[in-house]
Structure 1
Amino acid sequence: MYQALKPSRTEFVPVRNLNYHVRQWGQPDATQPPLVLVHGWMDVSASWQFVVDALRADRWIIAPDWRGFGLTRASGPAPDSYWFPDYLADLDILLDHYVGERAIDLVGHSMGGHISMLYSGTRPERVRRLVNLEGFGMAETQPVQAPGRYAQWMDQVKALHRGENGLKAYDAVEGVVQRLMKTNPRLPRDKADWLARHWSAPNEQGAWEILGDAAHKVINAQLFRVDETLAFYRRISAPVLLVTAKADSLGVWWKGKFTLAEFEERLRAVPNARSVEVADAGHMVHHDQPAELASLIERFFLAAD
């Protein structure tokens, strides 16, 4: 099994009726900005371990499990819907708790990359530099789609409360390992073995369950508006580095309905942004090429404005 080179420590922070699970590496340091890492959909904070191990410099690193993922859970019943504004508010309160008024260096993957872009446009003074790792947002929607989308959301919420569309459980951790390797064929066995024990946990019956709420599978009732997204992008004052994988994950997901060229056109709204591509990598770039990604991140954070 993979052996972590830089052990993390974890704690729970009360945030908006949630016990937020936060992982940290290193110690608080007044000489450089805190580094905050935010994971993507159906992922966990431990997912950053391989990149953290590859970083050359020692830094104070903060990585939360988003609400409803990993070990972050509501104190009462789990929600039946999740909304992007909640992630921004959670991040804002976590930064209040850990760093106060200090600006941070922020890295977000996938859903976390999209959230990081929105947050950087909402609180531009809190982000010194931003690395968006395959965080594209979603395909544009039109107002005419709203009634059908609301109907679909209501149907899925009802199905959730009937106990349908839950997350699959596995008889043993080996099933989780195989799922991780099937989803990402580039993921080596030792890393899959390590991740499986952070990405899932045994329940009272001994079956291994994914550490994520089934409600994350419920469609968002709100439309995705590009004009609104661009308004956030225009307010970003931090230099932004977009990191994409050579394997076009966006094209695979959306099958032509949303392309990398379309996203790069949106990125033009960011006052100071550039992009770089990582070869021999898929969507989980931080698993596929952690050393190269760590090098890109460190060079970007050290570069002159």
Structure 2
Amino acid sequence: MTIARNASRSEFIPIRGLQYHIRHWGNEDAPKIFMLHGWMDVSASFQFVVDHLQQDWHVIAPDLRGFGLTEAPGSDTYWFPDYLGDLDAILLHYAPEGAINLLGHSMGANVVGLYAGVRPERVRRLVNLEGFGLPTTFPTQAPGRYVKWLNELRQPPVLRTYASQAEVAARLQKTNPRLSDERAHFLSAFWSKQNADERWEILGDPAHKQTSPLLFQVEEVMECWKKISAPVLWMQADDTDVWHWMGPREQAQIEIDRRLAHIPDLQKEMIADAGHMLHHDQPELLAQLIEAFLLK
């Protein structure tokens, strides 16, 4: 069973030593939109938004390294700058010249936000779906962070497996109660696969769960955001909970707005009746806002 209105097609290309899986929708001669998914997610996550786009677009969405059908690097730690390096190589492959339309969700939004600041000439318009960044850190946290990382290296993380695809779908709905049975079933087929033991395993490298030894430098990120020359559409869900590490909601919103103030040309949209996976919860509205923004 599938509820996808527009079938995607897969391609594998070499990117920085890895076999990268790239998902495509639409006519290859149409204007391009590059979309980057979030942590522990896959490119197929954008299916419902793509289905509601009214114009003719060529949507290009990779499975980021160690997610979905893209190879894992085989290391015990993921380094955030590698996502920027991969994105740069992907854009060079599909759009070697000119400025492109770029969208990201969550972790993918943090990647595209940084990229738009360090390669401003390459981004025509940027859509950020809840790319808040990470908690503010302080130098005093560094010793403990290194200790935690070293300790975790002694016992590599694992991901649980599931008895059936239906259990995987139920797991997706546990994270996002708004996800319908039909959409959960559709996503579970891309989010997992059956292994040799006939268990269903998540298509994500367990090493993604490893603590990074490097502190998140929010002021460095903001300096990159200052360099963004493209117009930016920021979308936030009214029922999101990913900012909980910033404190109570009002306090968190102050910090979010402080960060967003560094983006020169910003349009904000609050999405009602949606959680962090807002592209699953309100895909029709997101598609309308995205197209209106890109076609200005």
Task: Provide TM-score, normalisation by structure 2.
Answer: 0.96
2:99 paired with 1:106: no
2:276 paired with 1:283: yes
2:189 paired with 1:197: yes
Q: Note the 1:55-66 alignment, pairs <5 A.
A: 55-66=53-64
Provide the residue aligned with 1:39 in structure 2.
Answer: 37
Contact 2:65 2:71 in 1 (8 A): yes
Provide the residue aligned with 1:156 in structure 2.
Answer: 152
Query: Which residue of the other structure, out of 274, 285, 288, is the alignment partner of 1:292?
Result: 285
2 CA distance for matches of 1:59 and 1:37?
12
Provide the residue aligned with 1:51 in structure 2.
Answer: 49
* 1:243-265 per-position Cα deviation (integer Å, ceiling 9, x unaligned): 00010323445544971320211
Unmatched tracts of structure 1, length 5 or more: none
Q: Note the 1:75-86 alignment, pairs <5 A.
A: 78-86=74-82
Query: Which residue of the other structure, out of 183, 207, 213, is the alignment partner of 2:205?
Result: 213
Contact 1:9 1:24 in 2 (8 A): yes
Which residue identity is paired with 2:221?
T
Residue identity (%): 52
Provide the residue aligned with 2:6 in structure 1.
Answer: 6
Contact 2:132 2:243 in 1 (8 A): no
2 CA distance for matches of 1:267 and 1:255?
17
Contact 2:63 2:70 in 1 (8 A): yes
Q: Note the 1:62-73 alignment, pairs <5 A.
A: 62-73=60-71
The 3-state SS of whatever aligns with 1:242 is strand
* 1:115-144 per-position Cα deviation (integer Å, ceiling 9, x unaligned): 110010111111100010011111110011
* 1:26-71 per-position Cα deviation (integer Å, ceiling 9, x unaligned): 12226x3x10010000000000000000000120110000000001
Unmatched tracts of structure 2, length 5 or more: none
2:252 paired with 1:259: yes
2:180 paired with 1:184: no
Which residue identity is paired with 1:60?
H
2:237 paired with 1:240: no
Which residue identity is paired with 1:236?
I
Number of matched residues? 295
- How big is the alpha-carbon RMSD for the aligned residues of Structure 1 and Structure 2? 1.4
* 1:75-121 per-position Cα deviation (integer Å, ceiling 9, x unaligned): xx622111110000000001111111131111100000111100101
1 CA distance for matches of 2:285 and 2:169?
24
2 CA distance for matches of 1:255 and 1:106?
30
Q: Once the 2 structures are TM-superposed, how far is the Cα of residue 266 of structure 1 from its aligned partner?
A: 1.0
Which residue identity is paired with 2:105?
H
* 1:222-280 per-position Cα deviation (integer Å, ceiling 9, x unaligned): 11112101110011001011100010323445544971320211111111112110100
The 3-state SS of whatever aligns with 1:236 is coil
Provide the residue aligned with 1:25 in structure 2.
Answer: 25
1 CA distance for matches of 2:247 and 2:136?
14
* 1:206-236 per-position Cα deviation (integer Å, ceiling 9, x unaligned): 1000000111101111111121011100110
Which residue identity is paired with 2:48?
F
After superposition, the Cα gap between the structure-2 partners of 1:230 and 1:131, relative to the gap in structure 1 and judged at 3 Å, is same
